[in-house]
Amino acid sequence: MSVLKRSHLEKIPFLGEMLFSMFTFPVAFTFLEKWVASEKAADTDAWLCALYAMLAMVHLFRAFRLRRHSRSAFIAQMIYSVAFGASSALLALTGLTLTTVDVAVLTFIGYMLSERVLDIVRHPKPWRIALDVLAVALIIVFMFDPRNTYTIVVVGFVAAFSSLLTIMYLILSRIRLDILKEIVQKTYALEIIAGLLVTMVAFSNVLTFTDDAFPSFWDALWYCFAIVTTIGFGDLTPTTGTGRFLSIILGIYGIVVVALITSIIVNFYGELKKKDVD
């Protein structure tokens, strides 16, 4: 029983980091949208405060997830969590003033700089060092923005992008890629999906030139995506016989691909369970 409880407790940092990363993504984009629309929007400070609070929680859970792997990583993530939490509290207490914006910007710049330096220390590969040095140079350039206009936009964009990468990493880190690769090879999934993508692009071109309901290639591609995924938004519909005929073919192809993906998922978890039993 104690082993079972311990295994459940080990999942809390993973789930917490995933949850707050998912919250960070829409909060960052909302803040970015409001800041670009009006730097003096009444609720911009609330969204920046919320963004920093989300980042504080992400790094707090990440610290506890990494505590068994690296003591230095644990300490670094805890420092990030405290820094973002303090900035969030400052914004909540004083609002969005020139001083608090400077503090918030400096906190984020310090975070990005330290992350790049730590990456150079941990992974001293030439190509990674070159990318990290370029990133540091860009960060330093943004530091000299007198009104912090560009820097604050970078804060929102980087926060959103990094949260998306975190979600993808956490998901992929729990997937047995060796088992998934074996299943994909046996089912010829890559070939079938590649054929679907080629068909979508080809049909989109045909629809653009033969059906007035699709004024551009991108509109036609959006329609093909809706057909293949069986979502059916209904914002675009074909009006010619050619368009309807192509929709039938693409719809049948989409059903096959959806069934294929479902079978891959079922087989993956079946093989995973079999490996765990062995």
> Is 24 found in the same domain as 151?
yes
Residue 114: pLDDT band by 50, 70, 90 thresholds?
Answer: confident
Q: What is the mean pLDDT of residues 150-160?
A: 81
Angle value at C-alpha 206, between 204 and 209, nearest 5 degrees: 110
> Is 163 found in the same domain as 74?
yes
Read off the CATH number of the domain in which 214 is found.
1.10.287.70
> Is 197 found in the same domain as 169?
no
Q: Please answer whether residues 245 and 219 qualify as being in contact, where contact means their C-beta atoms are separated by less than 8 angstroms.
A: no
Assess whether pLDDT exceeds 70 at residue 227. yes
> Is 195 found in the same domain as 272?
yes
Using the 3D structure, point to which of 138, 173, 208 is the last residue of a domain. Answer: 173
Full residue range of the structural domain in which residue 203 is found: 177-277
Assess whether pLDDT exceeds 50 at residue 1. no
> Is 150 found in the same domain as 31?
yes
Q: How many residues does the chain have?
A: 278
> Is 135 found in the same domain as 43?
yes
> Is 267 found in the same domain as 204?
yes
pLDDT digits (tens, 9 = 90+) for 19-78: 999 999 899 888 888 877 765 555 677 888 899 999 999 999 999 888 888 888 899 999
The pLDDT of residue 3: 47
> Is 192 found in the same domain as 149?
no
Q: What is the mean pLDDT of residues 88-115?
A: 79
Q: If phi over 0 gives left and psi between -120 and 50 gives alpha, with beta otherwise, what is residue 230?
A: left
> Is 158 found in the same domain as 30?
yes
Q: Structural domain tally of the chain?
A: 2
> Is 233 found in the same domain as 247?
yes
What is the spatial distance between Cα 96 and Cα 105, in angstroms, rounded to a whole number?
12
Using the 3D structure, point to which of 173, 199, 228 is the last residue of a domain. Answer: 173
> Is 195 found in the same domain as 145?
no
> Is 200 found in the same domain as 77?
no
Closest listed residue to residue 238, CA positions, set 228, 224, 252: 224
What is the spatial distance between Cα 11 and Cα 18, in angstroms, rounded to a whole number?
11
pTM: 0.68
* Both tokens assigned to 244: 């309807």
The pLDDT of residue 54: 93
Residue 122: pLDDT band by 50, 70, 90 thresholds?
Answer: confident
